[in-house]
Amino acid sequence: MEFKGSFLSRLFGGKPDADMGGKMEGAPGQEESARSAEEGTETLAQEEREYLPPDVRLLEFPEDHALRLLYELRREQSGLQPPFYIYLEGVPQEEAERELKRLKKELTEEAALRLSEAVPEASDTSESPEDSERPEIVLDARPFVFVSEDRMAAWMMVFPPVGNGKEPDCQMLERALAEKGVAFGINGELLKRLPEDLHRYFRFHLAAKGAEAVDGEDGYLVDHFSRVIERKFQVDEHDRVDYSSLNLVQNADKGEVICEAVPPVKGISGRTVYDEEIPGKDGKAAQLPRGRNTEISEDGTKLVAAQAGHVEFSGRSFQIKTILEINGNVDYTTGNINFLGDVHIRGDVCSGFTVRAVGDITVDGVVESGEVEAGGDLIVVKGIVGNRDSVIRAHHNIYARYLENSIVHARGNLQTDCILHSEVYCDGEVKVLSGKGAVIGGYIRAARGIEAKVIGSKSESNTNIALGGQPCADFEREVLFKEIDGLKKEMLKLERQPESPARTKRMAKIRLDLSVGKMKLGQYDKDLEKLKEKLEEQGGSRLRCQLAYPGLILTIGDETKQLTNETSMCNARLVEGEIQWA
């Protein structure tokens, strides 16, 4: 005890006999008080450790370590000192072992240096401490700065002053950071608070923190068309599902956006505590999946359709198919088809289903009681069998093996092997010259004429043929007129019903349909006037056949005549307002 008091006297400039002698050599009660204070400090240290945050990393030092000796000396000088433990706050688990190893090495060197300054090597235990005359040791407080390996954090610990040395102040702390090169992210509040803090000594405080670099976000694609087409059934206003509508075809007009690329976000640079820039990684641009019949917009952000067609994703790119190929039947597996290009159906068009295409439609099988409309030509390899409820339309030509019980519209020409009990409206010429070449029963209207091998039958079944005019337009006008008449009748029925939300909603829809229908009807009338002028310039139409049976009823213009005798090499035409069969 005597040596310890003398040692503290040399270290801190006090007089051991006056200041510490009572504690070291006093009465047993005083010694017991000192031991109680020490035990209380250890208990406090233990309690504080129990409440440390879970990410705190503690450093353990042996009892004879320079840092512990400095701490003990400080405690002897100042009395009750906050518990001793060295930790780094906020160090991630994976980095803790490496960082603490570096810290322990640097701190050990610094503490040893500080202890050598506080206790000169001239101290010799062979000479009595009381007899030696040594100058008082005075050392100012010294901040110790530790920087993490990634340079993103800097901690500070302050060694206490020795003797009458200067206590730490804000300028001293700032100077220590500057000498270490720390210039960014400095905790100014800590530097102001730390000189008065109870834990200013032998504790590590986060003095500076760098700014992490923020990597940019990659660009991404926003698809306007599905990559995987799912079957979606349409539900009408009465909550009924249309199982024939699967929406498996995705149509795109020329120039329509298929997908667009959202540009990437640039990274934000960070800085280390040394004020070094840490570049942030820029996000990667999304590549537009360009495929066949698609093109990239001028600004490079959009993939657009180079031409109209069906949008399909091949697994790597979007492509536009101008020909939609159906490898089987059009039935419940495909649903109705509505396409902006050409359609090739390798099977049949089953009853109750609809196929519409802006381009040509080719059917390798049979068109049953379905509805087909081609913006170009319609080719049916095996034939058309209808039920008089659905209409087969082509805005250009129709080529079919046969027509049976069908309603057919051709804005161009119609060519087939046989027509049986069908309604045909053709704005061009009807040719039934291949195969049997027979036209039996039904109603045939052809603007430019008809050629066949046989017209009628031995049973003299009525076969009506009308030549001239504009058959398709006349039929469409008649259908539209019937629709308008039906809407008017439905409106009258609704007006007699009591008020209800459903009645109001339905009447509003009927009024809209009536308005649109009347506009279409007016347009049809204007178009028909123009067509009549062209037809007068084109000249007359005629019927040609190798054999015609009685029962044939021929109308040309306003004249109608029925054939009463079997006639070979028939060449009927209108001559001076009268039909001649020659």
The number of C-alpha atoms within 13 Å of 18 and in the hemisphere containing its C-beta is: 3
Give the pLDDT of the chain (582 residues) as one tens digit per residue. 333 443 444 343 333 333 333 333 333 344 444 444 445 444 444 544 444 444 446 777 788 888 888 888 787 777 667 777 777 776 776 677 778 888 888 888 888 888 888 776 544 444 454 545 566 777 888 899 999 888 888 989 888 888 788 889 999 999 999 999 999 999 999 899 989 888 888 888 888 999 999 999 999 999 999 888 776 656 666 656 565 566 677 888 899 999 999 999 999 999 999 999 999 999 999 999 999 999 999 999 999 999 888 888 988 899 988 888 899 999 988 889 988 888 999 999 999 899 999 888 999 999 998 899 999 889 998 899 988 777 899 999 999 989 999 999 999 999 999 999 999 999 899 999 888 899 999 999 998 899 999 999 888 889 999 988 888 888 888 888 888 888 888 888 888 888 888 888 888 888 888 888 888 888 777 776 666 655 554 446 789 999 999 989 998 878 888 888 888 888 888 887 788 876
Q: Determine the pLDDT at residue 475.
A: 83
Rounded Cα distance between 179 and 494, Å, is: 93
Contact 351, 372 (CB under 8 A): no
Complete edge-to-edge strand list for the sheet that includes strand 559-562: 337-339, 354-357, 371-374, 391-394, 407-410, 423-426, 443-446, 463-467, 552-556, 559-562
DSSP 341-370: SEEEESS-B-TT-EEEESS-EEESSEE-S-
Q: Torsion angle, CA of 126/132/135/136, rounded to 10 degrees?
A: 80
User: CB 69: neighbour CB atoms within 10 A?
Assistant: 18
Q: Torsion angle, CA of 124/125/129/132, rounded to 10 degrees?
A: -30
Considering just the CA atoms, what is the radius of gyration of the chain in Å? 51
Q: Determine the pLDDT at residue 525.
A: 74
Contact 409, 432 (CB under 8 A): no
Rounded Cα distance between 543 and 466, Å, is: 9
Rounded Cα distance between 17 and 111, Å, is: 28
The DSSP letter of residue 576 is: T
Backbone angles phi, psi at 471, to 5 degrees: -55, -50
Two tokens at 175? 């100077």
Contact 222, 318 (CB under 8 A): no
Backbone angles phi, psi at 355, to 5 degrees: -130, 120
**In this structure, are strands 220-223 and 257-262 parallel, antiparallel, or unpaired?**
antiparallel
Handedness of CA 255, 256, 258, 259 (dihedral sign): positive
* H-helix segments, 119-187: 170-180
User: CB 236: neighbour CB atoms within 10 A?
Assistant: 9
Rounded Cα distance between 393 and 291, Å, is: 33
Two tokens at 241? 């599902």
Q: Determine the pLDDT at residue 34.
A: 43
Which residues face 460 on adjacent strands?
Answer: none
**In this structure, are strands 443-446 and 463-467 parallel, antiparallel, or unpaired?**
parallel
Amino acid at residue number 324: L
Two tokens at 381? 């390899």
Give the chain's length.
582
Two tokens at 296? 């990239």
The DSSP letter of residue 195 is: G
User: CB 246: neighbour CB atoms within 10 A?
Assistant: 19
Two tokens at 102? 């570096």
Q: What angle do CA 434, 437, 438 make, to 5 degrees?
A: 165
Amino acid at residue number 420: L
Query: 2-12 and 66-78 helices cross at what angle (nearest 10)?
Result: 90
Q: At 103, which helix (H) or strand (E)?
A: helix 93-118
Question: Among 293, 346, 350, which residue's Cα sits nearest to residue 322?
Answer: 293
Contact 216, 264 (CB under 8 A): yes
Q: Determine the pLDDT at residue 523.
A: 77
The number of C-alpha atoms within 13 Å of 87 and in the hemisphere containing its C-beta is: 18
Q: How buried is 500 (Cβ within 10 angstroms: 0-12 exposed, 13-18 middle, 19+ buried)?
A: exposed
Backbone angles phi, psi at 190, to 5 degrees: -65, -45
Which residues face 547 on adjacent strands?
Answer: 454, 568
Q: Determine the pLDDT at residue 1.
A: 38
Q: pTM for the whole thing?
A: 0.53
User: Is residue 93 classed as helix, strand or coil in its secondary structure?
Assistant: helix
Contacts of 239 (CB under 8 A, 6+ apart): none
Rounded Cα distance between 292 and 300, Å, is: 17
